[in-house]
Each structure stands twice: as structure tokens, then as C-alpha cells.
Amino acid sequence: MPRLDDPDLMLSDVMKIWPQTIEVFLSHGMLCVGCLVNPFHTVTDACTEYNLDEEVFRAELQRAVDGQS
């Protein structure tokens, strides 16, 4: 099973395996959902592109996966 904290995991896989993370991307105004390059970008790439703190963003993703708000 893939791990959410895997730095090589592509965004398309994150959203496919854990669809509850989509809301986290949307809440930050990120256009990653449905983007044609999300199969080639990682969480690190997205955080760099959107100027987000990766550690904080990953924690938000994990909370979504864990069912926490």
C-alpha cells in the first residue's frame, strides 16, 4: 500500500487512493484537481508551485485521511 508521506507519490495517486484529500487541495485554491500534469507532480512540487509550507500541508492531508477536520 502506498504511503501518504512517500515523497515520490504522484498527486494523481494521492487523490485516487485518498479522495478525501481533494478538499484540502481545493481549500488552498490549488488547481491540482483535474490538472493534466498531476500524474507527474508530487506534493513537494505542488507546495513549491503554490508557495505552501510542505510540512503543514502534509499534516492537513494526513488529517483528511484520518477523518479529522
Compute the average pLDDT of residues 25-42: 96
d(CA 56, CA 2): 20
Grid coordinates given for 1: 500500500
User: Does residue 68 register a pLDDT over 70?
Assistant: yes
**Confidence at 69, pLDDT banded by 50, 70, 90:** low
Compute the average pLDDT of residues 34-58: 97
In the chain, what percentage of residues exceed pLDDT 90?
96
Identify whether the C-beta of residue 61 lies closer than 8 Å to the C-beta of residue 14. Answer: yes
User: Does residue 29 register a pLDDT over 70?
Assistant: yes
Identify whether the C-beta of residue 54 lies closer than 8 Å to the C-beta of residue 43. Answer: yes
d(CA 6, CA 14): 10
Compute the average pLDDT of residues 36-57: 97
B/e letters for 1-16, b = 16+ CB within 10 Å, e = fewer, are eeebeeeebbbbbbbe
